[in-house]
Structure 1
Amino acid sequence: MRRSSYPDQEVSSINWQAFKLILPYLFEYKKRIAFAMSCLVFTKIASVYLPFILKDIVDTLDANSTGTDSALIIVPLGLVAAYGLVRLSIVVFAEIRDTLFGRVTERAIRRIGLKVFRHLHSLDLDFHLNRQTGGLSRDIDRGTSGINFLMRFMVFNIVPTLLEIVMVVTILFVKYGIWYAVITLSSIIAYIAYSVFATELRTRYVRAANIADSSSNTRAIDSLLNYETVKYFTNEEFEAQAYDQQLSTWEQAKIKNRLSLFALNGGQALIIAAAMTAMLALAASDVAADVMTLGDFVLINAFMMQLFMPLNFLGFVYREIKGSLANIENLFGLLAKAPKVQDVPDAAMLNLAEQGDSSVTEASIVFNNIAFAYNAKRPIIKGISFKVNAGEKVAVVGQSGSGKSTLVKLLFRFYDVDSGNIQINGQDISQVSQQSLRSHIGIVPQDTVLFNDTLFNNVQYGCPTASEDEVLKAIELAHLSEFISSLPDGLETVVGERGLKLSGGEKQRVAIARTILKNPQVLVFDEATSSLDSHSEQAILTAINEVTKSRTSLVIAHRLSTIIDSDNIIVMNHGEIVEQGNHQQLLELEGQYSKMWQLQQS
């Protein structure tokens, strides 16, 4: 079963450390937060004062119930108007608070989201090869949603409710006696304790549902991204059953979750009913004994209603706050992941001539006794040394798994070598910034992945600041013009997700055009013509030869016919160089290259 690489972590208690992670982003607007908090206090003061107006209205009406003088009616009407004005002020202050603090939260989410996005792009290739896109996107979404929920409920629910509880309990104690305060406070404590206890019991069901949700989402996205593979092997039903199995796990977790929610809500309702009954019975007794007025009875009832209405959501809020804090920690956990490949402190810029400079050919590449392994138990590159002189075209050939493409990854510094070093113009690439290194190298990969965008934008991606004329010129050099002119929408044709609407050869020509537009000093072709027919291959080779003039180029090739004009050909086998020389020299050796040539020719 495929699952998210980042399942919900086990949370036994609230970890308030997550607040420290987001506070720096919130305090960017200190004045706005202070104003929002002031509105919050004013809202609660007005809210607590509201039952007193209600009490005065009831008492006035009760006292005047036998009178008919119109002057006596004016007083309760004024109180009713005051009641409406206070209720309006509560809404106005709450809206101002929400508007002010909403801006703070949204800006924090924006900044954190951007930081995570940039950080994910800074992580090494190994992380991205092992991640699962569905689960990762879910965790990012949950993390940002968690920040929003945490801020909204802490500021708009928890803090105001605690403030109101303190005010109401104090008023009841001072005005009506200790028993009213004791009943109110004890019922609230019992309510909170039960909510926390019941929520803790049901958290595992919520967590199981979240894990199943991430797992099913990952499975669905993984299957859809590999749509063609599913079709090739007619495994639609297999994928559907596997997805349904994930959904079944989610369904069972949700059923248990729902039953536990019933127990939580039932217990909360029992505590509220008992507290309300006890308070109203005590108040009714005092009214009957003329200790308090009918208005006081209404006031106590209003206070209890105001207190327990927000507490109704306490179980939900408590669980969601725990989940939000865990999700926030997961999100910041991504930020805590350090890339395995990092620039050294004060890394230098790769010293190459600027694009278009006449001395652009001064880009020699040296692989100096390099060794590398993805896994220590299985060496991939074993002490390889060779040089690509400035302006030369050097090809690397060999059987699958010999380490050819790994050389490209090491050149781009997607991984650091285990020993030895790679130099460009005498500079160790581990000592220069990754950005400057990669900006000087262009690649046409074996498996070209395009953005779900137009053909024009996909080509322009090689140099986002390029003009339309420059893009069209690159398209022409890549021999894409005829193909584009045959499309109804031309350059505005959307290529589909990962370029699925284009053939392999068409995608590679788009990749070549993109690299031409980048205009780098070093060119790398990783099986660049592997998906082309013979006619297209010759056209592309002509373009490649034009582009590689006076430029240093490294070609990873399977078809030997595409690299016979190379200045040097490196033959690899099991991570080692077994032969090297030009095409004619290698044929005369009658070694591995010669056998590969004869096999392909036959």
Structure 2
Amino acid sequence: MLFCPVNISFTDVWEHGTSRCFHETVSAAVCSLIILVFGAAQVIIYRKYATPAPRPPGWGLSDERRKSLSFLYNVQIVLTELLAVYFLVRLGLQGSVLEGPIVGYMILTSCLWVVSLNMSLILMKIERRYMLPSVPTRGHGLVLLVFWTALFVSENLSFLNLNREKEWWFLLTSTADKVEMAFFIMRYLSTLILFVLGLKAPGLTTAYNAGEDSDLIDEESGQARGSTFRNFYTKMKTLAPFLWPQKSPLLQLSVIFCFCLLALGRVINLYVPIYSKAIVDSMIGENAVFRWDFVLLFVAFKFLQGGGTGGMGVLNNLRTFLWISIQQYTTRAVQVELFAHLHGLSLRWHLGRKTGEVLRVMNRGTDSANSLLSSILFSILPTLVDILIAVAYFVAAFDYRFGLIVLVTMTLYIVVTIWVTEWRTKFIRSMNLADNAKEARSVDSLLNFETVKYYNAEAYEVDAYREAIFKFQKEEWKSSATLNLLNTVQNFVVSGGLMAGSLLCVYMVVDKQGLTVGDYVLFSSYILQLYVPLNWFGTYYRVIQRNFIDMENMFDLLREEKEVVDAPGAGPLVLRSPTFRGGGADIEFCSVTFGYSPDRPVLKSISFAVPHGKTVALVGPSGSGKSTIIRLLFRFYDVQGGSILVGGQNVKTVTQNSLRASIGVVPQDTVLFNNSILYNIQYGRVDASYEEMVEAAKHADIHNQILTFTNGYDTVVGERGLKLSGGEKQRVAIARTILKSPHFILLDEATSALDTQTERNIQAALYHICNNRTTLIVAHRLSTIIHADQILVLSEGEIIERGRHEELLSKGGKYAQMWEEQLHNKDAERREELAESPVAESDGGKPKPNPLHQ
């Protein structure tokens, strides 16, 4: 049996390429030598020193991350087995479909590939299940990495044989050539995927690389570290609804037209240097011709292309113009969706948030979503396509060496850019965290401006902010310094490739090897045209990476679970008359149990009812659960036990909007928007007329006070209403509740922080709003609720007393004790007022009657 086919010698190494006999034998021998010799040594070392991995696969990772890595590990296994099967199948088909004799090198290489691939499977499983007694492995061992690299390089070396007509199948002249080409594509893709997955090492990161000592966990944020492109598909899937204008056919047409302009630009980039060469060649030699048509076409293409990078060309300008509306759609969609999602989150989440940090995340995230698509589609993708076109053109029109130089240079440039940029990720992420902390510090300090003044802490706040800036600038310096390092390395790679290609081109022109001066002009102009956008590749890649980093926190916000959601099929709250409901209560708590944390219950089996048109008051010491009852009724939280009925319907079975639309709340601490008084009153019912708002202000006893302001109803109340007094803010809140005209009223200690006279005025306003409405009051001052139809006394989350004011006083229990204490305190305050003022009051010191008591 011959080792090589007839008329092919193993020693015949080069003739416009290598022979398949030589190429496949050397490739199989080198790869087998690597994996068998050094792999066997690794197996011996593992058997002697290794111990089972102490952590189970996926330890410390989320279910989604664990499934993703397990899938990739299985892909590694399947591809390796497929390659082994492929070599056996090809050998079997050699004498039939491929119509060629089986020679010695085919048997030898097939056996070597099958053995070496199975050896790699053994090493993969050993590295997954065992570990050496040293620093935990951060990836696959050197043997497997070199083996996968050699596999991929071997397939790439096949391109050296494009110009060899004998044996190789690139010309696709027969069925056998087409089958071989299909096999080659399968091998190439398989070895490429194995090479990439080998760098990622999914079988190891799930086994023991995800612990607290791993680089995959961020110490400050607690989030998984690693490439910002991890879960790329998931992130793009989240953004996809915002990137495609689903409801606008005109914008969809604009997107398609932009892609057409992008494709046309790739063709223009190829023809610009081609016509430059044609112009130069037409002017050289004795047969020089005035080719004005070449000049006009060249100028026309340059007009369409622009200044080399497409930055000033008609095509790029037109595409940019059309893309403005698409970008605005994306930005608008992301911002609105995120804003709506934040409003849909629970009160628990909002109480624990940092406003400055959330706003920073929103701004950076939406800006990143705006530029992400443009960077990928109109910067990275065209650059990669231009590189592939250039490699193919130089191989076909010049020489394979030019294509090889371009391919190696571009590949090395991209690999270096990605590697260094990924290495810089930790510095960018740390800078973002420091920036978040700086912004949160400044916003928190300014929001608490009064507290800072009360405690004379301006210098402390300034020093703390200065320290936050120092920390941010320290991280910023690291990010900027590593960026300069990246630019230097990129410039070195680009200059090296340009030098090698130029030397080869000039040599072939001078040595008369089939190239002309025009070819050198073509090469130099094309390569420089290609390097200009490539120089921006690092910037584009960093922009995309920065976008993903900036969007990480935004994705976290979008993934934040809504604690309180409408049940499937929930309908609106239907309020029927009490007679139709059979005399049922408007509000009813049935054995309600709730706690903000599992180990600290706030309410313990609370049960009570509020009949239609009646008033029930909740009293008790701080922390007894009074305000929690209000929050549960408004469904800021869901009960953990029991049920809450409104109008005979469980609040969990009706929509939140319909429930809250029927309830009016006057909170203890009124917070107003930094807008006009009119705006804040109108917030009770945004479609109300001006006359209705004025009428509501009159009922709230604030209309005359508003008219004394310089701008009247247009007076801006300031941040959180700080320009108004406590009583004025409270009456604005009452006015907008009156304007809302709800079925139920919740008063959460609405007058606890007011002086006596203001309290009396507001009580009169509350009497108007509560008249003939079902009312639930949380009271601090007992004198404000003596009119209530029922008073519930809470202590440590339980109702210990219930009844009317007189009944509870007669019992002599907790309520009577609280009443006596408040009377004593009120008498003491009264004596202090009389002592300070020598003028007796006209009413003889008698308290004014309580309108609600009337």
Q: Same fold (TM over 0.5)?
A: yes
Of 474, 479, 486, which aligns to 1:264? 486
Cα distance between partner residues in 2 of 1:416 and 1:524? 18
Q: Which residue of 1 aligns with 2:566?
A: 343
Structure 1 match to 2:279: 57
Per-residue deviation, residues 283-337 of structure 1 (Å, max 9, x unmatched): 2222323443332222211111111111212233223323323444543443333
How far did residue 62 of structure 1 move?
A: 4.5
Distance 1:134 1:6 in 2: 17
Give how far 1:269 is off: 0.6
| 2:226 aligned residue | 11
1:124 corresponding residue in structure 2: 346
| Residue of 516, 519, 536 corresponding to 1:293 | 516
2:291 counterpart residue number: 75
Matched, 1:534 2:750: no
Contact 2:437 2:468 in 1 (8 A): yes
> What residue number does 1:307 align with?
530
> Take 2:615 and 2:412, find their aligned partners in 1: how far apart are those partners?
79
Q: Is the 8 A contact 2:375 2:543 kept in 1?
A: no
| Displacement of 1:562 | 1.4
Question: Which whole-Å deviations, capped at 9, do the CAs of 1:420-445 have from their partners, x for residues lacking one?
Answer: 21112222212221111111000000
CA 8–158 in structure 1, closer or farther in 2 if over 3 Å, else same? farther
Residues 548-587 of structure 1: pairs in structure 2 closer than 5 A: 548-587=770-809
- Output the amino acid matched with 1:310: P
**Deviation digits for residues 56-86 of structure 1 (CA, Å, limit 9, x no counterpart):** 333344458x99xxxx6x535x544333321
Alpha-carbon distance in 1 for matches of 2:448, 2:573: 38
Q: What SS does structure 1 have at the residue aligned with 2:601? A: coil
Instruction: For residue 380 of structure 1, give the secondary structure of its aligned residue in structure 2.
Output: strand
Q: Is the 8 A contact 1:56 1:295 kept in 2?
A: yes
Gaps of 5+ in 2: 1-217, 306-312, 825-854
Q: Which amino acid aligns with 2:528?
A: M
| Percent identical residues | 39
Out of 211, 234, 240, the residue aligned to residue 23 of structure 1 is: 240
The one-letter amino acid paired with 2:343 is: H
User: Alignment partner of 2:783: what SS?
Assistant: helix
Which one is further off, 540-549 or 208-217? 540-549
How far, CA to CA, are the matches of 2:720 and 2:428 in structure 1? 35
Equivalences for 1:134-283 in 2 at 5 Å?
134-283=356-505
Aligned residue in 1 for 2:592 = 370
Q: Distance in 1 between matches of 2:535 and 2:383?
A: 11
Equivalent-residue separation in structure 1 for 2:453 and 2:679 (angstroms): 29
Match for residue 319 of structure 1 among 542, 545, 548: 542
Deviation per CA, 1:74-118: give whole Å up to 9, x if none: 535x54433332122222222222233443333133223212221
Partners of 2:242 and 2:647 in 1: how far apart? 43
Distance 1:115 1:6, change over 3 A: farther
1:112 to 310, 314, 334: 334
User: Would you say the 8 A contact 1:399–1:572 is kept in 2?
Assistant: yes
C-alpha separation between the residues in 2 aligned to 1:419 and 1:21? 35
Q: What CA distance in whole angstroms lies between the structure 2 residues aligned with 1:39 and 1:206?
A: 34
Quote how far apart the aligned CAs of 1:253 are.
1.0
Which piece of structure 1 moves more, 83-92 or 414-423? Answer: 83-92
* Cα pair 1:142 1:327 within 8 Å, conserved: yes
Q: Which amino acid aligns with 1:26?
A: L
User: For residues 349-360 of structure 1, what are the structure 2 equivalents within 5 Å?
Assistant: 349-352=572-575
Check conservation: 2:228, 2:549, Cα contact below 8 A: no
Matched, 1:85 2:308: no
Indicate conservation of the 8 Å contact 2:585/2:609, yes or no. Answer: no
Give the alignment's TM-score, normalised by structure 1: 0.93
* Cα deviation 1:535-584 (Å, max 9, x = unaligned): 22212111211221110111111111211211111111211222222222
CA contact (8 A) 1:54 1:299 kept: yes
Greater relative contact order (Cα < 8 A, sep 6+): 1
Gap regions ≥5 residues in structure 1: none
Q: Which moved more, 1:22-31 or 1:449-458?
A: 22-31
Query: Are residues 387 and 12 of structure 1, via their aligned partners in 2, closer, same or farther at CA, if it must alter by over 3 Å?
Result: same
Output the amino acid matched with 2:297: A
Deviation at 1:210, TM superposition (A): 0.7
- Cα distance in 2, alignment partners of residues 80 and 575 from structure 1: 89
1:94 alignment partner, one of 316, 321, 346: 316
Partner of 2:606: 384
Letter in 2 for 1:589: K
Bigger shift: 253-262 or 89-98?
89-98
Hey, what does 1:500 align to over in structure 2? 722
Please, which moves more after superposition, 371-380 or 141-150? 141-150
Moved more, 415-424 or 461-470: 415-424
- Aligned partner of 1:39 in structure 2 is 261
Distance 1:363 1:440, change over 3 A: farther
Tell me whether 1:404 sits opposite 2:620 in the alignment: no
Checking the alignment, whether the CA contact within 8 Å between 2:228 and 2:425 is kept in structure 1 is: no
Residue range with higher mean Cα deviation, 233-242 or 324-333: 324-333
TM-score by length of 2: 0.66
Distance 1:258 1:336 in 2: 32
Aligned to 2:196: none
- Superposition RMSD in Å: 2.4
Once the two structures are superposed, residues 121-171 of structure 1 have per-residue CA deviations (whole angstroms, 9 ceiling, x without a partner) of: 111111111222222222222222222222111111111111111211122
Deviates more, 1:131-140 or 1:203-212: 131-140
